[in-house]
Chains A and B, each alone.
Chain A
Amino acid sequence: MLDGTLVELQNVGVKRESRWLVRGVSFTVDKGEIVTLIGPNGSGKSTTAKLLLGVLDANEGTVNRRKDLVVSYLPQSLSIDWTLPIRVDHFMKMTGKVSDDEVRSALDSTGAEHLFKEELRVLSGGEFQRVMIARAISRKPDLIVLDEPVQGVDFSGLVELYQLIESLRDELNCGIVLISHDLHIVMAASDNVICLNGHVCCSGTPKSVSESEEYLALFGRQVEPGLALYKHKHDHTHDTDGALIDIRENSRITSNIDQ
């Protein structure tokens, strides 16, 4: 593993019953790098995230994590049981040593400082997300994994969120893994976009938004700072069984072809 590398996935796969959820996934997350994972529902994005976090064990391949890596994880959904009385400040200190001041300044940076003593289960969806992001910041992580943080966020909120994530990367110099189900709009600041569909369909840097005027016309100029249209260059497609079909040769293939 290289010096700046935080996590390295080598040809990993996860199997449930007899079906592979993901297979043959390889990529690395480096310090100061933003990696965006995109793909349709059920394409194995969350599974891949759990693999690199060590929540799931790989059935094949290897996952290497740097030693003593401090991780902040924002799961796709987190439902707090009503029987659990827990306030925001306590929640933020739950998995690490974080001082009151650090909690306050982190909440301040996501505009949620007034929620400090609030009970977690009374927060609205938006407030809860601010708290989750503040929690991630306060741990001073080496790696942040955000699983679909843009769910239910409107367009201006999306730009704001992406700007926040970018500033986090700049401030903390941490690696960031961002999961999105949106196939076409990703963060312009992404260093690497990985398109998953049970395997790595394609990957690379996002094309800048300015190159695609037609997309801008659709969403307006204000999206320019944080967003980019991601151009897919698939060299294969999937038939109804999910099996691979090579476009170039127009014949069934069995191996995973990345461009």
Chain B
Amino acid sequence: MFDDFFYRALLVGVGVAIIAGPLGCFVIWRRLSYFGDTLSHAALLGVALAFLVEINFTLSVFIVSALVALFLIYLRAKTSLPSDALLGLLAHSVLALGIVVLGFMTWVRIDLLSLLFGDILAVSMYDIWLVFLGGSLVLVILVTIWRPLFADTVSHDLATAEGMNPQRARVIFTLLLALVISISIKVVGVLLITGLLIIPAATARNVSSGPVQMAIISTVVGVIAVVCGLFSSLQWDTSSGPTIIAAALVLFVLTLLPLRRAITLVADYSAKLANRGS
């Protein structure tokens, strides 16, 4: 079955959606949407550098995203510019640098569109392993830092005063975000990764009353979006990454409609699961 490119794509897409669900919740709780965007734009520079120094694509993207994140933290401490200006500055600079570096390498023929919007139908067995091993690692780490990270999200001062050591959780979370971006770039592309992170989480917010419940629903929504998106792109012969994001948007709109009651039933059920788990 895994010989079929479509099923490989489905498997990788579902894997990425499972990781993006809970991480995306933290992205919207902590108001990091544009931070996510900046990191994913840095991914393009990571890809370019991977070709230049001939190292592993995913590793290079992870390193560049993580460095950009750390540079941002440094800039915040050193300059008096507001955060959104710094984010804009970095996001567009790294995107531009990525394209310039790619332009220099005339010997590399690269499909820019697949980088920007994803190329999920071209995933290999290697990608499947990467998503599921990398993804498991991300989820295990997220579970271990959940409490301090969540307390930090509610109030940094409170979490620090009451001995949660939130600063460490913050840095680890930033690295997780860079890791997720580096492993999901093939699915939806540089420009749409943040969409996969925040649209399912925003959809889940409409029907959740607890953080763990919201993370679970966000994952479910992400998985549904990937499955529906992929089948739709097969049906209508559309680009798969954007179709997945469009499917997520449809789910978001649905949660705003009266259909909401039906989804609340699902939500209650998953809340029971979450309560049993905690």
Contact = CB atoms under 8 A, between A and B. Distances in A.
Specify whether A and B are partners: yes
B82 interface: no
B39 to A, nearest CB: 20
B154 A55 contact: no
Interface residues of A, number: 25
A80 B151 CA distance: 11
B162 A71 contact: yes
B160 A55 contact: yes
A78 interface: yes
A53 B160 contact: yes
A50 interface: yes
Interface hub of B147, B157, B214 (most chain A Cβ within 10 A) = B157
Contact of A85 (B155, B163, B205): B205
Contacts of B205: 83, 85
Interface residues of B, number: 24
Contact of A78 (B147, B155, B164, B214): B155
B158 A75 contact: yes
Contact of A91 (B147, B154, B161): B154
Contacts of A70: 163
B210 interface: yes
Nearest to A117: B209
B159 A84 contact: no
A73 B159 CA distance: 9
B211 interface: yes
Interface of B: 28-29, 31, 147, 150-151, 153-155, 157-164, 205, 208-211, 213-214
Contacts of A87: 209-210
Contact of B162 (A72, A78, A80): A72
Say what secondary structure dominates the interface of chain A: loop
A95 B147 CA distance: 7
A95 B211 contact: no
Nearest first, the 3 A-B pairs at minimum CB distance are A73-B161, A53-B161, A95-B162
B209 A71 contact: no
Contacts of B211: 84-86, 90
B162 A85 contact: no
A1 to B, nearest CB: 18
A81 B205 CA distance: 12
Given A55-B161, A73-B161, A95-B164, A84 B154 contact: yes
B266 to A, nearest CB: 16
A100 to B, nearest CB: 11
A54 interface: yes
A85 B209 contact: yes
A56 to B, nearest CB: 9
B30 to A, nearest CB: 8
27 contacts: A50-B161, A55-B161, A72-B162, A73-B158, A75-B155, A78-B155, A84-B153, A84-B154, A85-B208, A85-B211, A85-B213, A85-B214, A86-B154, A86-B210, A87-B209, A90-B210, A90-B211, A91-B154, A94-B150, A94-B151, A95-B147, A95-B151, A95-B158, A95-B162, A119-B209, A139-B162, A145-B161
B79 to A, nearest CB: 13
Contacts of A119: 209
A50 B157 CA distance: 8
Interface in A119-144: 119, 139
Contacts of A72: 162
Interface hub of B28, B162, B205 (most chain A Cβ within 10 A) = B162
A96 interface: yes
A85 B161 contact: no
